[in-house]
Amino acid sequence: MPRKKKSDPNKKGLNQNVEGLSAEVLEQPITETLETNYMPYAMSVIVSRAIPEIDGFKPSHRKLLYTMYKMGLMTGPRTKSANIVGQTMRLNPHGDAAIYETMVRLSKGCEALLTPFVDSKGNFGKTYSRDMAYAASRYTEAKLSAICTELFRDIEKDTVDFADNYDGSTREPVLLPTSFPNVLVSANTGIAVGMASQICGFNLAEVCETTINYIKDPDCDLMQSLLAPDFSTGGELIYDPEEISRIYETGRGGFRLRAKWRYDKAENIIEVYEIPYSTTVEAIMDKVSELVKSGKVKEISDMRDETDLGGLKLAIDLKRGVDPDKLMAKLMRQTPLCDSFSCNFNILISGNPRLMGVREILSEWTAWRIDCVRRRVFFDLERKKEKLHLLNGLKKILLDIDKAIAIIRGTELESEVVPNLMIGFGIDKIQAEYVAEIKLRNINKEYILKRVEETERLEKEIKDLEDILNSPRRVKKIITDELRDVMKKFPSPRKTEIIYADEIEAYDEEDETEDYPVTFFLSREGYFKKISQPSLRMSGEQKYKENDGPMQEMEGQNRDELLIFTDKRQVYKVRASDFEDSKASLLGIYLPSHLEMDEGEGVLCIIKAEDYSAGLLLFFENGKVARFSLSAYATKTNRKRLTGAYSDKSPLVCALTLEEEREIAAFSSEGRAVIFSSALIAPKTSRTTIGVSLMNLKSKHKLIKAAYLEDSGIQNAARYRARSIPVAGALLRDGDREEKQMSLID
């Protein structure tokens, strides 16, 4: 085993093994490890892999598309995908599988993008299917889509910077000079180290129009032209103006997408033909199957995936008499047929990740595109100046062509022709080289006149290009003209329909649940049964476990919402319809397990919530009683568990609801009882109130139960009635000690 040795601060890394000596292991502080090993990796993932840049591409996308461009696949025929993958490895050495997956996502066949950049042939899978795998690269073919002309527009004119590839054998563009804001058009997702990016796609025409409006007026209303995100899978977007505005301004937020469906009355079938972009066919079918098996959805007899070459189709066979609108509303609530999409517009700007809203993205893209156009104009200007310089030299010589011929004929050495022309006409070497290469057939009047006219035209063009460079307004006009050209050449109707929340017909979930009278039974150990009235009339004695017995019985309806109080200061909210009908001969459902209660948590009682308008009385062992409204347990969300449900100063004994003022009987462990009117208890607003004193208890005694007077078993009520509280209570007489199961009813 190597022996440990303290590190020498002047040494870095591990010492080399020396023959005859044991290896030395140097200790390294964790901070140094993070700085030297982890941070470079993290930055590499952020900058070079996961986060898109202002042109809308990650490095893997850019390398693939540029390789295809250099292969001549913009106009040529398709080639095997394996050929493209192999060529791309010159720029992207991450393996053929990763490169091919990138191509699949960019392809028309996959349908992952609104504006696909790869014109594909063969099986490229589908973005809406988890299990529909794409074919191997040796079976498929591809070329660049027509819109890629806008990605590589004038890339040879120094519009963008180029950098060496990983081994320095070739050059590749740092960004692609896209003539439209592809960063907003192409949906993109990336997970880096410590950050992520989630960009939704927008309609190409809407993005171009919005960019034009922004260039004209940076304070324009973006929502007038950029209506909402648009997705390749279609569906319906539930439009919330406030949330969309928040996304546009901050780059963060979310919205909901719904599937599109139609009903075939003749076949009694629902056909789903468009689904949310964020889900898959398999996820939907799995969830529907789960709901059918659990009995929560009983209206479906069968569901199949009938997707074919015509597109996506999920067929749902309905049982006789089922309302398709109500069923789909139910499935929209409980399955991914209605799903959410979260936005996180995190984009690399000059190598730094920035979270930006749409307006800021358009600002950065416009500034970057202005630089691209200016570089292109400057490139054209320099080329024209060079040509004008050559023609000016030619012009001097053509004015006296006989002299030029004489100089050339009188020169003995070929190497002295250019210097002699320079001396004879006062031109520079470049001009003299150009003149010396003129063909003999071009020494005529027509050629001379054409060159003079070309000189005049070049001078005008140079002046115009210089004016463009000095005029930001003209540069912006070039950008807007190119955007209009993109809109004209590549029409793109919306695929995702926009609907407003108030257009969605709401169906009360209660209306979908069958309602009928039931009786609830709760045992001391926490077993719960819901038994319908016909079953209860036909059944015999209730069955309980050994050493268990009845604790609570009350009548209600199948649609009732129940509040289950526990001894850990928690309340669980459930619907009676969530429980299957039981029988007297069964033990029932063990609530602590069914509700996933905390270890050691037990059930105290069950209360019917109804519309949360009733009052509530909570009785504690220390002799106090608290009164407040059931609305303290009402929540806007579907929270199943409420913590801090009541005061923690003393254990809870029981709870009673109050529709109106009633007389209540309370009992202590000393054998005393008190009857009081609920009007003596002042209502509080907080559910954690400690309450007011009801009974004066001796140190070793406690309050053990409470019930409505008519359910208490007391015969001589006058003996125990109190006009004010707190009181010690009167000792119970034998006639008032009748054992009777308490019933907590509203």
- Catalytic residue annotation: 139
CA nearest neighbour of 187 among 111, 244, 125, 123 = 111
Residue 618 in contact with residue 678, Cβ under 8 Å? Answer: no
Does residue 529 sit in helix, strand or coil? strand
Q: 595-622: string of b/e by CB count within 10 Å (b at 16+)?
A: bebeeebebbbbbbbbeeebbbbbbbbb
CA nearest neighbour of 445 among 486, 389, 410, 401 = 401
Tokens of 435: 């003149």
117 Cα distance to chain centroid: 23
Token pair 């062509």 in the structure block, residue: 401
Q: Beta 517-523 vs 527-532: how paired, if at all? A: antiparallel
Cα(127)–Cα(139) distance, integer angstroms: 19
Render 645-677 in DSSP notation, one character per residue: -S-SSS-EEEEEEESS--EEEEEETTSEEEEEE
Cα(576)–Cα(566) distance, integer angstroms: 18
3-state secondary structure 207-238: HHHHHHHHHHCCCCCHHHCCCCCCCCCCCEEE
Does residue 595 sit in helix, strand or coil? coil
| CA trace torsion 630, 635, 636, 640 (10° rounding) | -130
Token pair 């505005």 in the structure block, residue: 245
Q: What is the DSSP letter of 696?
A: -
Q: What is the DSSP letter of 311?
A: B
Cα(207)–Cα(187) distance, integer angstroms: 13
**Residue type (1 letter), 210:** T
Beta sheet of 141-144, edge-to-edge order: 79-80, 141-144, 118-121
CA nearest neighbour of 621 among 699, 535, 718 = 699
Q: Between 81-88 and 59-70, two packed helices, what is the crossing angle to 10 degrees?
A: 110
**Residue type (1 letter), 467:** D
Q: Where are the extended beta strands (E) located within 149-205?
A: 162-164, 171-173, 188-191, 196-199
Residue 585 in contact with residue 540, Cβ under 8 Å? Answer: yes
**Residue type (1 letter), 164:** D
Residue 114 in contact with residue 187, Cβ under 8 Å? Answer: yes
Cα(106)–Cα(117) distance, integer angstroms: 6
List all residues 6 or more positions away from 493 whose beta carbon is below 8 Å from its beta carbon.
none
Q: What is the DSSP letter of 438?
A: -
Cα(725)–Cα(696) distance, integer angstroms: 9
Render 358-373 in DSSP notation, one character per residue: HHHHHHHHHHHHHHHH
Cα(275)–Cα(127) distance, integer angstroms: 11
**Residue type (1 letter), 418:** V
Tokens of 8: 């020498």
CA distances to 264, 528, 651, 657 from 523, in Å: 49, 7, 19, 20
Strand partners, 655: 618
Helix (H) or strand (E) holding 327: helix 324-334
Q: What is the DSSP letter of 567?
A: T
